[in-house]
A = this chain, B = another copy of it.
Amino acid sequence: MEKNKVTIQDVAKRAGVSITTVSRVMNKNYPVKESTKIKVEKAIEELNFTPNMLARGLIRNKTYTIGVIVPSIANLFFPTVVKGIEHYMKAHGYTIFLSDTEGDAKEERKIITTLMDRQVDGIIIIDPRNENIKNGYLEEVTKKIPLVVINGYSKGIKCHFVLNDQEMGTYDALNYLLECGHKNVAFLRGKDSYSYDLKEKVYYDIHEKHEMVINQENVVIIEDGNSIQTSDLSMAAVMKRLESNNPPSAIFACNDTMAVGAMNGIKKAGLRVPEDVSIIGYDNTMISQLTEPKLTTVDQNMYELGQKSARRLHEIMKDKNESFMRIVLENSLIKRDTVTILNQD
Contacts and interface: CB of A to CB of B under 8 A. Distances in A.
Interface of A: 1-3, 50-55, 57-58, 61, 63, 65, 68, 72-76, 78-80, 82-83, 86-87, 90, 95-100, 113-119, 143-144, 228, 231, 260, 264, 267, 286-287, 289-292, 303, 320-321
7 contacts: A1-B143, A1-B144, A54-B58, A65-B118, A73-B83, A74-B82, A291-B292
Contact of A86 (B2, B99, B115, B321): B99
Nearest to A303: B74
Given A231-B290, A292-B292, A119 B52 contact: yes
A284 to B, nearest CB: 12
How many copies are assembled?
2
Nearest to A80: B74
B228 A286 contact: yes
A51 B117 contact: yes
A286 B143 CA distance: 40
A267 B260 CA distance: 19
B83 A53 contact: no
A215 to B, nearest CB: 28
A89 B215 CA distance: 46
A113 B51 CA distance: 11
Nearest to A256: B290
Given A1-B320, A74-B79, A74-B303, 7 more contacts: A1-B143, A1-B321, A53-B118, A73-B86, A96-B97, A291-B291, A291-B292
B72 A113 contact: no
A287 B72 CA distance: 17
A287 B289 contact: no
A53 to B, nearest CB: 5
Contacts of A115: 95
Nearest to A115: B95
Contacts of A87: 100
Contact of A98 (B72, B86, B264, B320): B86
Contacts of A52: 58, 117, 119
Given A113-B50, A290-B264, A83 B90 contact: no
Nearest to A107: B90
Contacts of A83: 72-74, 100
Contact of A290 (B73, B78, B260): B260
A118 B95 contact: yes
A54 B63 contact: yes
Nearest to A70: B79
A117 B50 contact: yes
A290 B291 contact: yes
Contacts of A292: 267, 291-292
